[in-house]
Structure 1
């Protein structure tokens, strides 16, 4: 990195509007071969990419290309795009690279905003926030595709339309044309390099206010959009159900299957957004020993899902005389899903306080955190300890049931193969529960060093109770380590409840009620 820091300019906009072409025209000729430009509306950018150079006056510039919020390629969801952009912006801020500005690219021929164009612009506005709009240039492209008079008329429509760019221009944004020449691109870059550095709203929300990604203005905008699309598709699905029998059934069934696949994709996108991103601190935390705060295991949820699928697939072979073998264990898994969902939300609230505390050095905020009732760390470890105890009880109960069975050979001889299958299925379920119990014990153990570290922080707050801030480097280092650990926990278990409920679809309701 340049000793004085690079001036960063981020290029955003829908797919196929000419972002990569603009960047190619902006950089020195020796760098243009590194930039891939597409000839169609298909995106050539599948991640946040940057190119850096030094201007003639010695200014270090980094120009950043980003995917659009309408990418149709598999896996390139709007949630993933937002996470990539948010991760880049927070990391750059953490490295003290000044954000000179943002460029929003738009085709001069598009004077009406369709659904995807509106979504791109709304999310862009929420990422920037009102304060950063003075550092925004709206670059119009593809002027060679319209006659000059038509282009000027379109430009005026874009400037004056309330649903177009007038609200941004009124807040200080600038509109400039790119005529596919290095000079017109350089005019845009030089305009932004002359601006004072800015901080986007999403960076301020994530790093200074301690918000989760889904709670930022951009995240909320995307969640509302996803939920609206889900509701629309669900309404269409309900209508299609009514129509079955009125027209060709196979046609309706295929249509409904497509709708369900779309809904599943939107639900996955919502879950991805809820997992959020790992936000860096003002300075990178020092490395810590893996024995202190290892990455939390996620095998427990996978084993719970596998167990529920096993119960669902074998419910016809479960001995009807012993409903605890299936229903008691299934209810425990359901209870765990609800409890972990609550713990993640609780820890996320605690993370917001800890991030603010570390960045501001506010001792009062830290004292309020450690006095929480219940403290997020204790509440969460208690969940895993209780889940472990409950599963151990369930395991013992089912073991007692199976102990009443004779040996498989005797079962087969006197009761036949069906009884043997019942015994084998029940035994497989028991082994699955024992594996889950071990996983829960591992997670309860994972929390112990985290809780110990927070106890040390609490002791430090008592020692420093006379002041309003803290300079103890040990406290700062410990907080950074704890924050990293809690972030990894939320990332690992944010979709716990969704995964469990999806695996349990189609299971009888009574399987989730404790059988006394």
Structure 2
């Protein structure tokens, strides 16, 4: 692997995680939907070397999301439980309604990180390359509202970026984590050490509890 620092990618299906890996590393990745965690070594001239973990997209089924948590846990164990330097949540900017699924996925992400990991978490909006100039202002306003109302972990705001299916925009995100020490461990990684990486162990983690929590249904219009 390229580095001992770990960046974990989380998001709904089709949110752009695998495309981010492709453009960040200039490497070929399987274009089909990601069905299992895969670690990629990424090196760059302007940023540190990272191991980036691409994960399957979260869905509406608790059983499926628990299986994804198990896969993440076992991947971290396989990598030797190194420090997780950062975690990134991906969201399609073209989704103008933050439905129950998206809110629950954000809840899972927050519980994966834990409040103490706030400085090492980031949010990335995707699909900017699909937006024409005429619709840009609309989505810029949406981005601002997402940042203020939804993209936060713990006190204060968190870093947020745009990814437009380009090497430049992907590298900008990784540069944020360059030389950023892992002051705190990812809460989920700590809990895997405590509870193990089995499905029963996943149910005991904060993220597992979030998976099983009822979303409440309905949709919240944010634009």
TM-score category of the 2 structures, normalised to the smaller one: 0.7 to 0.9
Alignment partner, residue 413 of structure 1: none
Alignment partner, residue 54 of structure 1: 43
Alignment of 1:285-304 (within 5 A): none
Q: Select which of 79, 103, 116 maps to 1:131.
A: 116
Does 2:102 align with 1:117?
Answer: yes
Q: Select which of 107, 131, 140 maps to 1:152.
A: 140
Question: In 2 relative to 1, CA 170–112 (structure 1 residues): closer, same or farther, beyond 3 Å?
Answer: farther
Q: Which has the higher contact order (CA 8 A, sep 6+)?
A: 2
Deviation track 1:209-267 (CA, whole Å, cap 9, x = no partner) reads: 779322221112223339x89xxxxxxxxxxxxxxxxxxxxxxxxxxxxxxxxxxxxxx
Alignment partner, residue 26 of structure 1: 24
> Unpaired segments of 5 or more residues in structure 1?
39-43, 230-516
**Contact 2:66-2:202 at 8 Å conserved across structures:** no
Alignment partner, residue 247 of structure 1: none
Does 2:40 align with 1:36?
Answer: no
Alignment partner, residue 219 of structure 1: 208
Does 2:176 align with 1:182?
Answer: no
The normalised TM-score by structure 2 is 0.82
The normalised TM-score by structure 1 is 0.37
Larger Rg: 1
> What secondary structure is seen at the aligned counterpart in 1 of 2:12?
coil
Question: In 2 relative to 1, CA 181–119 (structure 1 residues): closer, same or farther, beyond 3 Å?
Answer: same
Equivalents in 2 of 1:171, 1:96: separation in Å? 29
> What secondary structure is seen at the aligned counterpart in 1 of 2:41?
strand
**Greater strand fraction, Structure 1 or Structure 2:** 2
CA RMSD after TM alignment = 2.8
> Unpaired segments of 5 or more residues in structure 2?
218-223
Alignment partner, residue 188 of structure 2: 202
Alignment of 1:111-510 (within 5 A): 111-146=96-131, 147-161=135-149, 164-165=150-151, 167-168=152-153, 170-197=155-182, 198-208=184-194, 212-225=201-214
Equivalents in 2 of 1:169, 1:141: separation in Å? 23
> What secondary structure is seen at the aligned counterpart in 2 of 1:12?
strand
Equivalents in 1 of 2:169, 2:129: separation in Å? 13
Equivalents in 2 of 1:105, 1:149: separation in Å? 20
Alignment partner, residue 488 of structure 1: none
